[in-house]
Structure 1
Amino acid sequence: MKELILHAVTVFMGFFAIMNPIANTPIFLGLTSGADHATAKSVALRSVFIAFIIVTIFAISGKIIFDLFGITLYALRITGGILVIMIGFNMLQGKNEHTHANKRMSALEQKQAALGIAVSPLAMPILAGPGTIATAMNFAAVGGYYEVSITVLAFALLCGITYLLFVSGEALVKALGASVLNVITRMMGLILAVIGMQMLIEGIHQAYSALFN
C-alpha cells in the first residue's frame, strides 16, 4: 500500500511538472481573450476532457498505437512543436481569430471557432503533449492494473485542477482590462513559440539520435 501511495504521488508530481497548469493558465486566457465567459468555460472543460481521453488512451495502449501506425515519439514532438510555434507566432503578432471573427461570423460560428481551440492547441499539444504522453506511457508501463489506474486517476485529478485554474483565470480578464490582456497575449505568444521551438529541437535531437546512432 505504501508503495502504491508513493507511486501515486510520484505520478502526480511528474504530470504536474510537465503539464504545468499554472503556466498554461495565461496561455488559455490569451487564446480565449475574444470569447465570452460561457464559451471560455466550455473551452476549458472541453480541453481538459479531451486531454484526459488522449492521455488515458496512451496510458492503456500507447505502445500498441505507436506500433500500429508506425509513429515515433520524436515525430510527435516535431509535429507538435511546429504547430505550437505557428500558433504562438500568430499570438505574438496580435492575430486573434476571435477578435476578427466578430466582424464576419455569426454568434454560433464564433462559438464553434472558439471551441475549436479546445482541441488544438489546448488539448493537444499543450496539455496532452508529447512529454505528457510519454510520461503516461512510462508510468503505466512500470506495473500492472493498479499502476495504470493510478496513472489515469492522477492525471484526472490534474485535469480537474487545470479546469479550476482556467475558469478562475477569467476573473483576471475583468481585473486587468483589455490593454493589459493584449500585452499578456503577446507575451504568452512568445512563450508559446519558445515552447514549440523547444519541442521541435528535442524532437529533432531524438530523431537524429535514433537514426544515426
Structure 2
Amino acid sequence: MMDEWGYYLKFFVSLVAVVNPPGIIPIFIDASRGMNSSERKQTGDLASYTVFMVLTLSLISGDAIIRFFGISIASFRVAGGVLLLLSAISMLQAKLSPEKQSEEEAIDLESRKSLAVVPLGIPLLAGPGAISTVILHAQKHLNIAHYFSLFIVITALSALVWCLLRLSSLIALKIGKTGINLITRIMGLIMAAIGVEFIASGLKQFFPGLG
C-alpha cells in the first residue's frame, strides 16, 4: 500500500514540476491586466478547468492514441523524456520552453478573448510535457483502479492551479520575480531528472541488456 501511495505521490510531483503553476503567475498577471477582480477570477477558473479537461482526456484517450498510431511504449518513453529535458533546460534558465509558447503566441497573448483556454490553459499549463507524462503513467497498469487514482491526482493538480491563480497577485507581491524564478529552476531540475528516468526506462525496453 505504501508503495502505491509513493507512486501516486511521485506522479503528482511530476505533474507539478511539468505544469509549473508558479511559473505561469507573471504571465497570468500580465494577461489579466485591465480586468476587474471578477473577470480575473473567471479567467483563472477557466484556465484551471482547461488543465483538468486536457489532462483527463489524455488519461482516457492516451492508450487509444498509442494503439492507433502503432507507437511502442518504449518509443513514447524516450520521446517524452527528450521533450521533458528540452522543457527542463528552459526552466533551469527561468524561461518558458518553446514547446509551451511560440513567439506568435506570446505576441498574440493580449489580443485573445479566450486566453484562459489558449494559451494559458493549453499549452502554457497543460502542454506536451504534461500530456506525455499522463499518458506514460497511464500505461503502467491498464485497470480502472489505477486510472481512477491518476484521475484523483489530476484533480488535485487542477485544484492547486486554481488556488495559485486565485492568489497570483498576492504570491507575486510576496515572493517577487526572483522567488518565482527560483521555484521555476527547482521545478526544472526535478523535470530533468524525470526526463532522464523516462529515457533510461525506454532504452532498457529497447535494449534489455542495459538492465
Which residue does 1:123 correspond to in 2?
Answer: 126
Give the drift of 1:184.
1.9
CA distance in 2, matches of 1:14, 1:196: 12
Q: Is 1:60 equivalent to 2:63 in the alignment? A: no
Query: Structure 1 length as normaliser, TM-score?
Result: 0.62
CA drift at 1:32: 3.4
Q: How many residues align?
A: 191
Number of the residue aligned with 1:80: 84
Separation of aligned partners in 2, 1:184 and 1:166: 16
Matches within 5 A, 1:5-154: 16-20=12-16, 24-32=20-28, 34-36=30-32, 38=35, 41=41, 44-71=44-71, 72-89=76-93, 91=95, 107-108=110-111, 112=115, 115-125=118-128, 128-138=130-140, 141-142=142-143, 144=144, 148=147, 151-152=150-151
* Equivalent of residue 198 in structure 2, options 197, 203, 211: 203
Relative distance call for 1:117 and 1:83 in structure 2 (3 A) is farther
Residue 186 of structure 1 is matched in structure 2 by: 181
Equivalent position amino acid for 1:19 in 2: L
C-alpha displacement at 1:65, in angstroms? 0.9
Q: 1:91 is paired with a residue of what secondary structure?
A: coil
Aligned identity (percent) is: 17
Structure 2 unaligned spans of 5+: none
Counterparts of 1:45 and 1:122 in 2: how far apart (Å)? 13
Distance verdict in 2 for CA 1:188–1:11, change over 3 Å: closer
Kindly indicate whether the alpha-carbon contact (under 8 Å) linking 2:52 and 2:155 is maintained by their aligned counterparts in 1: yes
User: TM-score normalised to the size of structure 2?
Assistant: 0.62
Shift of 1:13: 5.1
Post-superposition CA distance 1:34-88 (Å, at most 9, x none): 3336586566445433332333233323222112224413312222331342355
Q: Which residue number in structure 2 is paired with residue 5 of structure 1?
A: none
- How far apart are residue 171 of structure 1 and its match? 1.6
AA aligned opposite 1:123 = A
Bigger helix fraction = 1
Task: Give 1:187 deviation, angstroms.
Answer: 1.5
